[in-house]
Chains A and B, each alone.
Chain A
């Protein structure tokens, strides 16, 4: 199978600081790929490069079959992105946010209406659809941000710490959404701090100081490091950090 994300020797420098130090990895269609690392390890930098928000310093990067240097706008048609910082419009209502992003991605008014209805129905948010986002609890907002990111049915969706600051029940529900989306064939690229969430991923990579130190399925990684949980794998690797 042809990978949907292909990264080879990706380097990103900010002045003298090397945020991404020759990363090489591939992600395959329909996969849930966990992108782990401590704070400041360089996860967000990588995600921004993959989404075409930031230009790489060097290396080969292709997403959804397009080269990130030459066709970043074509990539954008095929991806969804959920930022670490909530970035929907707080002064617009739920439906208005869906309408705006649906419109930007070129969906017809009909498609927007139907998909908004289906997504809100799935989240059980239909009653609150005219509520302005400012008045909505954090956990709801995260689910909405996810729904907006997948509304145009992208090939890959990038989630940057999607469950930060969210209660365990909502986190659980959030991962159900992720699973459903992956089941429909969308590739999920997710960063997280929660090691229980890492167990839900098909494969995970662990980044330390801008380098990928481990990459495999959670089972194999636990065997490789002879520990019982992803938490222990992570601690073993992260402890070696500068």
Chain B
């Protein structure tokens, strides 16, 4: 244990003497949280539309007014014909075209189906279907008004009124959903890279050789290398939670000590993985690439952006070994639902077993003697 304290002392001295470390610890989390939370969103606002009104009637103007008054749409141009309008789409200056046919009002008045053509830039498929759905909603709103005008009140068809109630995130606020996930990402990236670069840096500098001729024990070395980053990452989590509260007013319904407890185990997995990569690499460049490879896969599959439940079955199986997926789920549960330990105990045990396994591997892969 004494030896570990000497290593810790040395590591902390080196960390805080490194001019780039303080920005990494304090500025990176703030920037990541602020930028990612605002931008990593699937909400569609300000869809740029081009109107082609070939009817120029009162009815068509009313429909256009419905679009103009919606916060989801921004009319960027009005064109006389479809050809001209489609150029806007082609140049990427508009996302959607609304084409109203020439006999629009006449058909409504004569009880024939009137047509509106919706053309959507569908390069981003999910965004396109959202834009399409929003546009349909606007048109349906217009439809309802028509019905109300034409059908007398007493003849109104019986309707089922649906009353939606959204639990845990009542305003369907995307940031509320994203921030707990991004917090996980943040401590993971910082922890993985700092630990992943550490041992291999000593290899590149040649200082590891001087360590390897001492009677230092492998577990002492790994513990001394792991603990500093474990503390830094835990600190960053608390720091990030503070920002989430102050800047985004994200609710924190669950128990703070419980979250820190899970985080403590989770970070052991992440840091041990970093140290394992560091042990297996000969240069910092190698370590960097290997770390990125695993992080990108883990992050993309973690359910941060897309729900794990809608992934193919093999991907769901893969996520059983994806530590990020576990912790994002648990973090969202604790913060947004106020879940207790029993709600995710199984995941916690998996993470614990995982931590022990990777730690043992990291210790084992640290070789004092070269073959």
A positions within 8 Å CB-CB of B:
48, 51-55, 72-74, 76-77, 79-81, 83, 85-92, 96, 99-101, 103-106, 148
Contacts and interface: CB of A to CB of B under 8 A. Distances in A.
A53 B215 contact: no
A74 B217 CA distance: 11
A76 B209 contact: no
Contacts of B216: 104
B213 A100 contact: no
Contacts of A99: 6, 9
Contacts of A92: 10, 13-14, 17
B214 A53 contact: no
B205 interface: yes
Contact of A52 (B10, B17, B368): B368
B248 to A, nearest CB: 38
A53 B5 CA distance: 24
Given A55-B371, A92-B10, A101 B214 contact: yes
A105 B9 CA distance: 15
Given A81-B209, A96-B13, A104-B6, 20 more contacts: A53-B209, A53-B213, A53-B368, A73-B215, A77-B215, A83-B209, A85-B206, A88-B207, A89-B10, A89-B207, A90-B205, A99-B6, A99-B9, A101-B210, A101-B214, A103-B2, A103-B3, A103-B6, A104-B214, A106-B3
B18 A91 contact: yes
A51 B9 contact: no
Contacts of A53: 209, 212-213, 368-370
Counting chain A CB atoms within 10 Å of each CB, the highest count among B5, B208, B209, B215 belongs to B215
A102 to B, nearest CB: 8
A159 B272 CA distance: 35
Interface in B34-75: none
A99 B12 CA distance: 14
A85 B2 CA distance: 28
B133 interface: no
A90 B205 CA distance: 9
Interface residues of B, number: 28
Nearest to A81: B213
Nearest to B369: A55
Nearest to A148: B210
Identify the 4 closest CB pairs spanning chains A and B, nearest first. Answer: A103-B6, A81-B213, A87-B210, A76-B215
B76 to A, nearest CB: 56
B211 interface: yes
Contact of A91 (B7, B14, B214): B14
Interface in B201-251: 205-217
A186 to B, nearest CB: 15
Given A54-B370, A100-B9, A106-B3, A76 B214 contact: yes
Contacts of B10: 89, 92, 96, 100
B207 A87 contact: yes
A54 B213 contact: no
Nearest to A79: B213
Nearest to A73: B215
Contacts of B217: 73
A87 B202 CA distance: 9
B228 to A, nearest CB: 14
B259 to A, nearest CB: 35
A100 B6 contact: yes
Contact of B210 (A48, A74, A83): A83
12 contacts: A53-B368, A53-B369, A55-B371, A86-B206, A88-B210, A89-B207, A92-B10, A96-B10, A99-B9, A100-B6, A104-B6, A105-B215
A104 B6 CA distance: 7
A85 B6 CA distance: 24
A40 B9 CA distance: 38
A87 B209 contact: yes
A24 to B, nearest CB: 22
A104 B207 CA distance: 14
Contacts of B3: 103-104, 106
